[in-house]
Amino acid sequence: MSPSRDSGQTAAPAASAGGDTRERILAAAMEEFARHGIAGARVDRVAKLARTSKERVYAYFRGKEALYAAVAAREYVVIADATQLDPSDLPGYAGRLFDYFVARPDHHRLITWGRLELPGTAAVADDPTQAAMARKIGQLREVQQAGRLDPAWDPADVLALVNQIAMTWAAQPELREAAAAHAADPTTAARRAAVVTAVERLFPRAR
Protein backbone atom coordinates (compact mmCIF):
# COMPACT_ATOMS: atom_id res chain seq x y z
CA MET A 1 0.00 0.00 0.00
CA SER A 2 1.41 3.38 -0.98
CA PRO A 3 1.78 6.14 1.66
CA SER A 4 -0.66 8.35 -0.24
CA ARG A 5 -3.45 5.81 0.39
CA ASP A 6 -2.73 5.42 4.09
CA SER A 7 -5.42 7.61 5.66
CA GLY A 8 -3.68 7.53 9.02
CA GLN A 9 -0.61 9.16 7.48
CA THR A 10 -2.30 11.86 5.40
CA ALA A 11 -5.15 13.26 7.51
CA ALA A 12 -3.03 15.01 10.15
CA PRO A 13 -0.88 17.08 7.74
CA ALA A 14 -4.01 18.25 5.88
CA ALA A 15 -5.67 19.32 9.13
CA SER A 16 -2.48 21.01 10.27
CA ALA A 17 -2.23 22.96 7.02
CA GLY A 18 -5.82 24.16 7.41
CA GLY A 19 -5.18 25.12 11.01
CA ASP A 20 -2.11 27.10 10.03
CA THR A 21 -4.08 29.00 7.39
CA ARG A 22 -6.84 29.82 9.86
CA GLU A 23 -4.31 31.04 12.43
CA ARG A 24 -2.64 33.27 9.83
CA ILE A 25 -6.03 34.71 8.90
CA LEU A 26 -6.89 35.46 12.54
CA ALA A 27 -3.49 37.09 13.17
CA ALA A 28 -3.81 39.21 10.03
CA ALA A 29 -7.39 40.16 10.89
CA MET A 30 -6.31 41.22 14.38
CA GLU A 31 -3.91 43.73 12.84
CA GLU A 32 -6.38 44.88 10.21
CA PHE A 33 -9.29 45.44 12.60
CA ALA A 34 -7.12 47.17 15.21
CA ARG A 35 -5.85 49.59 12.58
CA HIS A 36 -8.97 50.25 10.51
CA GLY A 37 -11.99 49.16 12.55
CA ILE A 38 -14.69 46.88 11.21
CA ALA A 39 -16.17 49.14 8.54
CA GLY A 40 -12.73 50.20 7.31
CA ALA A 41 -11.17 46.74 7.32
CA ARG A 42 -10.73 44.98 3.99
CA VAL A 43 -10.84 41.23 3.57
CA ASP A 44 -8.48 41.40 0.60
CA ARG A 45 -5.84 43.04 2.81
CA VAL A 46 -6.37 40.34 5.45
CA ALA A 47 -5.92 37.67 2.79
CA LYS A 48 -2.76 39.26 1.46
CA LEU A 49 -1.22 39.58 4.92
CA ALA A 50 -2.22 36.00 5.74
CA ARG A 51 -0.66 34.78 2.47
CA THR A 52 -3.89 33.23 1.27
CA SER A 53 -6.84 34.10 -0.99
CA LYS A 54 -9.92 36.16 -0.25
CA GLU A 55 -12.01 33.11 -1.12
CA ARG A 56 -10.12 31.09 1.48
CA VAL A 57 -10.90 33.68 4.15
CA TYR A 58 -14.61 33.39 3.33
CA ALA A 59 -14.32 29.61 3.46
CA TYR A 60 -13.44 29.91 7.16
CA PHE A 61 -15.55 32.98 8.06
CA ARG A 62 -18.87 33.85 6.41
CA GLY A 63 -18.23 37.58 6.47
CA LYS A 64 -16.29 40.44 7.98
CA GLU A 65 -18.37 40.63 11.16
CA ALA A 66 -17.97 36.90 11.74
CA LEU A 67 -14.22 37.28 11.30
CA TYR A 68 -14.16 40.16 13.78
CA ALA A 69 -16.25 38.14 16.25
CA ALA A 70 -13.74 35.29 16.09
CA VAL A 71 -10.78 37.61 16.61
CA ALA A 72 -12.46 39.48 19.49
CA ALA A 73 -13.58 36.29 21.22
CA ARG A 74 -10.05 34.93 21.11
CA GLU A 75 -8.67 38.24 22.40
CA TYR A 76 -10.99 38.18 25.42
CA VAL A 77 -9.73 34.71 26.28
CA VAL A 78 -6.12 35.89 25.97
CA ILE A 79 -6.84 38.88 28.22
CA ALA A 80 -8.50 36.68 30.85
CA ASP A 81 -5.55 34.27 30.83
CA ALA A 82 -2.98 37.08 31.00
CA THR A 83 -4.63 39.10 33.76
CA GLN A 84 -6.27 36.43 35.96
CA LEU A 85 -8.96 37.92 38.18
CA ASP A 86 -8.25 37.37 41.88
CA PRO A 87 -11.50 38.50 43.54
CA SER A 88 -9.67 38.93 46.85
CA ASP A 89 -7.11 41.31 45.29
CA LEU A 90 -8.91 43.65 42.90
CA PRO A 91 -6.14 46.30 43.01
CA GLY A 92 -3.69 43.67 41.76
CA TYR A 93 -6.10 42.67 39.00
CA ALA A 94 -6.47 46.32 37.95
CA GLY A 95 -2.70 46.65 37.78
CA ARG A 96 -2.43 43.61 35.52
CA LEU A 97 -5.13 44.96 33.21
CA PHE A 98 -3.32 48.30 33.09
CA ASP A 99 -0.06 46.56 32.19
CA TYR A 100 -1.70 44.46 29.50
CA PHE A 101 -3.16 47.39 27.59
CA VAL A 102 -0.14 49.64 28.05
CA ALA A 103 1.91 46.95 26.33
CA ARG A 104 -0.76 46.28 23.67
CA PRO A 105 -2.67 49.46 22.75
CA ASP A 106 -3.70 47.86 19.46
CA HIS A 107 -5.63 45.22 21.42
CA HIS A 108 -7.59 47.93 23.20
CA ARG A 109 -8.39 49.56 19.85
CA LEU A 110 -9.64 46.21 18.55
CA ILE A 111 -12.14 45.89 21.40
CA THR A 112 -13.17 49.54 21.17
CA TRP A 113 -13.98 49.28 17.46
CA GLY A 114 -16.41 46.47 18.22
CA ARG A 115 -18.14 48.48 20.93
CA LEU A 116 -18.50 51.45 18.58
CA GLU A 117 -19.49 49.65 15.41
CA LEU A 118 -21.48 46.66 16.68
CA PRO A 119 -23.57 48.12 19.51
CA GLY A 120 -26.49 46.06 20.72
CA THR A 121 -25.35 42.89 18.96
CA ALA A 122 -27.19 40.01 20.57
CA ALA A 123 -24.95 37.59 22.43
CA VAL A 124 -25.12 33.99 21.30
CA ALA A 125 -25.67 31.24 23.84
CA ASP A 126 -22.05 30.08 23.77
CA ASP A 127 -20.47 33.56 23.62
CA PRO A 128 -17.12 33.13 25.42
CA THR A 129 -17.04 36.80 26.37
CA GLN A 130 -20.35 36.60 28.22
CA ALA A 131 -19.30 33.32 29.79
CA ALA A 132 -16.11 34.96 31.09
CA MET A 133 -18.05 37.93 32.49
CA ALA A 134 -20.53 35.62 34.23
CA ARG A 135 -17.68 33.61 35.74
CA LYS A 136 -15.99 36.72 37.11
CA ILE A 137 -19.22 38.05 38.58
CA GLY A 138 -19.75 34.68 40.23
CA GLN A 139 -16.26 34.80 41.73
CA LEU A 140 -16.91 38.25 43.16
CA ARG A 141 -20.22 37.12 44.64
CA GLU A 142 -18.47 34.21 46.35
CA VAL A 143 -15.93 36.45 48.09
CA GLN A 144 -18.75 38.75 49.18
CA GLN A 145 -20.53 35.79 50.73
CA ALA A 146 -17.29 34.82 52.44
CA GLY A 147 -17.03 38.31 53.95
CA ARG A 148 -13.92 39.34 52.00
CA LEU A 149 -15.57 42.00 49.82
CA ASP A 150 -18.16 44.61 50.79
CA PRO A 151 -21.56 43.01 50.01
CA ALA A 152 -23.20 46.44 49.58
CA TRP A 153 -21.86 46.49 46.00
CA ASP A 154 -23.51 44.51 43.24
CA PRO A 155 -20.71 42.28 41.87
CA ALA A 156 -21.56 43.34 38.31
CA ASP A 157 -20.93 46.96 39.32
CA VAL A 158 -17.67 45.97 41.00
CA LEU A 159 -16.40 44.34 37.81
CA ALA A 160 -17.50 47.24 35.62
CA LEU A 161 -15.87 49.86 37.84
CA VAL A 162 -12.59 47.98 38.22
CA ASN A 163 -12.35 47.38 34.48
CA GLN A 164 -13.13 51.01 33.71
CA ILE A 165 -10.55 52.36 36.16
CA ALA A 166 -7.90 49.93 34.92
CA MET A 167 -8.45 50.98 31.30
CA THR A 168 -8.74 54.70 31.99
CA TRP A 169 -5.45 55.59 30.33
CA ALA A 170 -5.77 53.11 27.47
CA ALA A 171 -9.18 54.61 26.64
CA GLN A 172 -7.97 58.23 26.75
CA PRO A 173 -4.73 58.56 24.77
CA GLU A 174 -5.13 62.34 24.57
CA LEU A 175 -5.21 62.56 28.37
CA ARG A 176 -2.23 60.22 28.56
CA GLU A 177 -0.27 62.63 26.38
CA ALA A 178 -1.36 65.56 28.56
CA ALA A 179 -0.26 63.70 31.68
CA ALA A 180 3.12 62.97 30.12
CA ALA A 181 3.59 66.68 29.55
CA HIS A 182 1.97 68.19 32.63
CA ALA A 183 1.62 65.69 35.49
CA ALA A 184 3.85 66.15 38.54
CA ASP A 185 5.15 62.65 37.83
CA PRO A 186 4.79 61.97 34.09
CA THR A 187 5.85 58.31 34.20
CA THR A 188 3.74 55.29 33.30
CA ALA A 189 4.52 53.92 36.75
CA ALA A 190 2.75 56.90 38.32
CA ARG A 191 -0.34 56.32 36.19
CA ARG A 192 -0.34 52.65 37.19
CA ALA A 193 0.02 53.54 40.86
CA ALA A 194 -2.98 55.87 40.61
CA VAL A 195 -5.11 53.10 39.07
CA VAL A 196 -4.14 50.59 41.75
CA THR A 197 -4.69 53.11 44.56
CA ALA A 198 -8.12 54.11 43.25
CA VAL A 199 -9.27 50.49 43.15
CA GLU A 200 -7.72 49.81 46.56
CA ARG A 201 -9.74 52.64 48.10
CA LEU A 202 -12.97 51.40 46.56
CA PHE A 203 -12.37 47.69 47.04
CA PRO A 204 -9.56 47.02 49.55
CA ARG A 205 -7.63 43.78 49.36
CA ALA A 206 -9.01 41.10 51.62
CA ARG A 207 -7.04 40.86 54.85
74 Cβ partners below 8 Å, 6+ apart? 26
**pLDDT in the model for residue 117:** 87
Contact 169, 115 (CB under 8 A): no
C-alpha span between 199 and 194 (Å, rounded): 9
Contact 95, 196 (CB under 8 A): yes
Q: What is the pTM of this model?
A: 0.80
Q: Residue-wise pLDDT tens for the chain (207 aa)?
A: 444 444 444 444 444 556 799 999 999 999 999 999 999 999 999 999 999 999 999 999 999 999 999 999 888 888 888 999 999 999 999 999 999 999 998 889 998 888 888 865 544 446 677 888 899 999 999 999 999 999 999 999 999 999 999 999 998 889 889 998 999 999 999 999 999 999 999 999 977
C-alpha span between 87 and 65 (Å, rounded): 33
72 Cβ partners below 8 Å, 6+ apart? 110, 111, 114, 129
Contact 199, 153 (CB under 8 A): no
**pLDDT in the model for residue 130:** 83
User: DSSP states of 95-129 as a string?
Assistant: HHHHHHHHH-HHHHHHHHHHHHHSTTPPPPTT-HH
